[in-house]
Structure 1
C-alpha cells in the first residue's frame, strides 16, 4: 500500500508538472508547442564567453536607459546563440521594455517566444504573469483572466504564485467589464476565484443602479467560505440597505458632519489605502474626543482604478450625502475622483497624491501637500540667509523633475544675490560620477544642491569625499530617506533638505499622530497614515470652524491650503511653511534656523528623529 501510495504521488507530480507547461502555453493564447521546447545547439567555451560579454553589454545599455541599443544587442545575441543560458531572461526584458511603452503586440510576441522556446526555464512564471498584463493592456482582459485562472490551478512556483494571484485579483476587480465578468463566470464555473468575480460583478451592478441583481450576487458571496470577501460583501449589502428610496439621479441630502474617505482598499495598492484610512480614522477619533464633536466618516474603495474612483466618489456624494471628500491616495484615482467632486460642487482635499497639479482641476479641489518648487524655494532662502552661503553649485539628473528643481534653485539664488559657480547635469543610470564631480570640485562651491531620486543618491553621495568635494549639502525631499541615511555614509551629516509632508504649523499635530499611531498599532510610523491623519484634521478643523454648507467649506479650504488662484503667490505661502530637515549624529530631525549652529549640534533628538521617512 505504501509503495502504491508513493507511485501515485509521483505520478500526480509528473502530471502536475506537465500540466503546468502545457497550460502555460495553451491557455494564454500562445499556440501549441512541445513541453520540452526546441533543441538548441550547446555553446562551446569560447561562445559562452562571447555570449556573456554581449549579455553584459545588453544589461549595461538597459542600465543607461538606452533601450534601443539594448533591444538591438538582444536580438543579435538571440539570433546567434538562442541556447545561451540568459536567453529566456533577454526575451522577458525585451517584453518588459515594450510593455513600458504600452506597445503590446511586440511584448506579446516576445513572451510567446519565451514560453514556446524555453518552457522549463524559471522565467516562464514571470512570463505568464506578464502575458496576462500585456493581454489586459491590449484590451483582451477576458482572455488574460481566463488563461491566468486556468494556469493558477496548476501553479507550482510559490515565489511567483502571490504575484499571479495579485494580477488575477486586479483583472477581476478592475479590468473586466460587467459583460466580461459574466463571460468569465460562464467559462470558469468551478474557478476558485468565482466568489471574487461575483463580488466584482455585484459592484458593477451597484454602479449601474441594478440593486436587485447586485443584492443576489452579494448574498451569495456573503454566505461563502472566504472571510475577506464575506466581510466586503456584507459591507456592500449594508450600503444597499442604507440608501432606500432614492430615485435614479436623486441625491441624498447633505450630512454636514460626514466626510467621505476614498482609498484603494482592495487590489495591489490595498496596503496604502488601509494605512490612509487608519490615519484618517485616528484623526477623527482624536478630534471627536477633544471637542466632543460628532463627526463621522464613510469610506469607499477606489481599487486603485480611476474609473472605480470616480464612481466611488459619485456614490459617496449622491447616496451618502457627504459634506466633503478626502483622499484618493494614488494620483490617477484622485484626479478622477476630483473631476467628479468638482462637477458635483463638493470639496475634495487630497493630502497624499504626488501629482502637484490636481488642485488645478477646479475650484472645489484642494491639496495640502507641499509642492517641490515651494520646498526648493524655502531651501535656497535658508541657504543664503541662515547658512550665509555665497558660492553655490547644482548637480542634478538630466530628467524633467531634476532639471525643473535645478532651475527653481538657481533662479532663487540669483534673486537673493548669490552666485552659481557651477551647474552640472548627469545621465540617469550613471554609476561613475567622476566627470561631473570633477567639474564641481574645480568650481569650489560653499553650498552644493543635489536633487535626485534615492536610487541615484545612494551611489552619488558616497563618491563626494573620494573626489574631494566638500561643501554644505542641500537636497530635495528624496533625501528624507532612511535608506539613503543608511547607505550614504558620513557625508550626509549636516545635510539640509525639505519635508514634503509637514508644514511648520502642523509639527505639534504630528507629535500627536506619532503618539496615537504607535499606541494603536505598536509599529513604526507609516507616512501614508500620517497624510491621512493630517488631511482629515485639516478638514475637521475647517468644518468645525463655522463653515456651513459645501460652498462655505470650499472657501475656508481655499484659505487653509493657500489656494489663491495665483500659483506664484501659492508657492510663496507654502514656502513659508516648509519644514526643513537635517542629519545630526546619524539621525534625521527638523532643522530650526532660529538656533545657532552650535545649539543645533547639541540638541537632543525629539519625536521627529524617527520621522516620516521611507521604509528600510
Structure 2
C-alpha cells in the first residue's frame, strides 16, 4: 500500500509541480501507515503478551486460593489462545497440577506427557516427571512413581524441586516398595541416587534374611555414595550379614514378578515361602531365598539364572514358570551343572535338555501315554480313535497316545483333527462312522449285536446313517469350550463309546453345558484340588491363614518343589551335585499335588492321576 502511494506521489510531483500541499499530506499518510505496520509486527505481540501475563497471574492466584476448577479454565484458555506465548509450558504444568488436584489423573498424565513430547528440552521437564510421580502414586503404582521422582530429581533445575523429589521418593524406598520392586529399580535406574536405592535394597534384604544379596547391595552403596551419613549404618548391617552368610543354604527362585504373568509369579513365591515357614520342616538352620524376576521373558530368565549361579551360590533353583522361558534356563543348568525344578513348565522335552532339569508338571504327551496304557491294560479297550486340534500341539499328543496304545497291544483306527475354533464336527465324526458302519454290519450279521437296535418301532430296518455304531474308546483333546461342542455331537452322531481325555475334562464347572454328555468320561491330569485329601486340606488352610485367600495350582506346585528341596537338604544333600543325585532317585515323595517320581530318562514327573466323571464330581481311578 505504501509503495502505491509513493508511486502516486511521484506522478503528482511530475505532472503537477504546484501540488506540494497534497504531496506533504501523502507523505504524512505514509509515515502513519509505517507506524501502523510497526504496531502490528512488533507492538501487537507485546500487547497480547501483557494480556496473557495478566490471565496467567490471575490463574495462579486462583490455584493458590484452592479454586482449582476456575484456575484450570484460565490455564486452558491461555493454552488455546496463546500457543506461542512464553507462559505456554508454564500453563501446561499448572493445568496438569489443577487436574491432579481435581482427581483427573488421566488428563493430568496426558498433559504432562504432551509437554515432555512437545518440549523435550523444557526447563519444566523435571517438574513434569515429579508430577507424573504423583499421578502414579495416587494410582497405587509405587514403582512407577519412584522411577518418575528419580527422573524428576535428575532433570529438575531448581533446588526446591529436587528437594521435593527427594521428599517424595524416600518414603517409597523405605516403606512402600516390595523387595522385588527394589530389585527392579536397582537395574532400571542409573542416576545419581542409585546408591540410595542400593542402601534401602540392602537393608530390606538383610531384614528378609537374604544375607548374600544384602552384602552385595550394601557394598555397592558404599562405593556409589562415599561419605554418606548412612555409611555407618550400612557398615553395621554388613557386619551382621557377613557373620550369618556362611550358615545359610540358598534356594534360587525364577519367577515372573512383573509383566503379564505377575499374578502367577506372586503365587509361586508365596507357595515357596509358605513351604520354608512350615514348622514341620526338619532342623536345617536358615534357608535363604534368592528371587529373580524373569518378567516372563526367555532372555531375562537366562540372565537371571546365570546371576543366581554366579553371585548367589545357590544349592538349587525353582522355576521358571513358563515353558518358553524354561528352555534357556535348562541349557544354562546343563552348562553350570545346577539342579532346576520347574513347577509348571510342561512342554515335552525341556527336562531332556539337561540331566539337571526336572519338570514337576508332566507334559500332555506323557499324560496321553499314561492314559493310553491305563485304557488298554485296566479298562481292556483295544480299539480307539483320536480327535485333536490341528495345531502345533495336537498331532504330537495324538502320536504319543497312538504309540502307547500300540505298544500296549491295542490299535488306533483313525487319527482325526479339527481346526482351532471349529464349531461343527460333522465331518471328522462322519469319518469315524464310515469306518465303524462296516464293522457294525459284520457284528450284526455274526450275531454279536442285539439285532433290535437296527429296527424302528414299526419293525422296519433303519437306514445305515441312523444305525448306532460302537467304538471302544474315543480320545478327545481340547479345552472345556471345545468339549462342550464336541461331546454332544458325538452323541448326536450315535457313536457309542468310552470318552477319554486329559485336563480339559477336569473343570466340571466349565463343562456344565455338556454335563450329561461327559458322564463316565475317563481322563488323566496331574492335579485336581481335593478337599478330602488331608495334605491338600492342611496346605490350603495354612495358605489362607497367611495370605487371606485360597491357593491356586501354581502355589501348590511351587510349595511341593520347595518341600522336596528341604527334604533333600535334610538328607545331607546341600551342594548342587548332591541335590541333583537326590532328585534323580526321588520316587516315593508325596506332596499336596500328589506323588512325585521323576523319570530317569526324561526328567518329567510320572506322578499323574486318572479320574472318572460321575455326576457333579469325579472318582479317582489311579
TM-score clears 0.5: yes
Equivalent in the alignment of 2:511? 485
Q: How does 1:9-408 map to 2 (within 5 A)?
A: 9=69, 203=183, 214-218=194-198, 241-243=214-216, 257-286=249-278, 288-304=279-295, 305-408=297-400
Q: Residues 72-104 of structure 1, C-alpha deviation per residue, up to 9 Å, x if partnerless?
A: xxxxxxxxxxxxxxxxxxxxxxxxxxxxxxxxx
Moved more, 390-399 or 255-264: 255-264
Indicate the SS of the match to 1:375.
Answer: helix
Indicate the SS of the match to 1:461.
Answer: helix
CA distance in 2, matches of 1:472, 1:536: 39
Change (3 A) 1:427 1:254: farther
Change (3 A) 1:521 1:220: closer
Answering whether residue 611 of structure 2 is matched by residue 581 of structure 1, we say: yes
Shift of 1:326: 1.2
CA distance in 2, matches of 1:459, 1:309: 38
Shift of 1:556: 1.5
Indicate the SS of the match to 2:524.
Answer: strand
Q: Which runs of 5+ in 1 are unaligned?
A: 20-124, 129-145, 174-180, 223-229, 593-616
Shift of 1:519: 4.6
Equivalent in the alignment of 2:425? 433
CA distance in 2, matches of 1:461, 1:488: 7
Indicate the SS of the match to 1:289.
Answer: coil
CA distance in 1, matches of 2:264, 2:483: 25
CA distance in 1, matches of 2:575, 2:201: 39
Answering whether residue 543 of structure 2 is matched by residue 517 of structure 1, we say: yes
What TM-score comes out, normalization by structure 2 length? 0.56
Pick the aligned partner of 1:459 from 485, 500, 505: 485
Answering whether residue 438 of structure 2 is matched by residue 447 of structure 1, we say: no
CA distance in 1, matches of 2:347, 2:264: 16
Shift of 1:386: 2.1
Please provide the CA RMSD for this pair: 5.3
Pick the aligned partner of 1:527 from 550, 553, 559: 553
Q: Residues 415-471 of structure 1, C-alpha deviation per residue, up to 9 Å, x if partnerless?
A: 323233332211112112222223334533121100123342333234333333332
CA distance in 1, matches of 2:585, 2:186: 37
Shift of 1:483: 4.7
Shift of 1:534: 1.2
Indicate the SS of the match to 1:491.
Answer: coil
Indicate the SS of the match to 1:242.
Answer: helix
Does structure 2 conserve the Cα–Cα contact (< 8 Å) formed by 1:255 and 1:323?
no
What TM-score comes out, normalization by structure 1 length? 0.57
Change (3 A) 1:279 1:237: closer
CA distance in 1, matches of 2:369, 2:74: 65
- Pick the structure with greater CA Rg: 2
Moved more, 461-470 or 195-204: 195-204
CA distance in 2, matches of 1:292, 1:233: 22
Shift of 1:9: 4.5
CA distance in 2, matches of 1:184, 1:398: 55
Change (3 A) 1:335 1:207: farther
Equivalent in the alignment of 1:546? 572
Pick the aligned partner of 1:498 from 510, 513, 524: 524
Does structure 2 conserve the Cα–Cα contact (< 8 Å) formed by 1:381 and 1:412?
yes
Does structure 2 conserve the Cα–Cα contact (< 8 Å) formed by 1:376 and 1:408?
yes
Does structure 1 conserve the Cα–Cα contact (< 8 Å) formed by 2:330 and 2:353?
yes
Pick the aligned partner of 1:555 from 581, 594, 597: 581
Change (3 A) 1:237 1:275: closer
Does structure 2 conserve the Cα–Cα contact (< 8 Å) formed by 1:302 and 1:312?
yes
Q: Which runs of 5+ in 2 are unaligned?
A: 1-61, 80-106, 111-124, 224-241, 437-468, 587-595
CA distance in 2, matches of 1:201, 1:502: 33
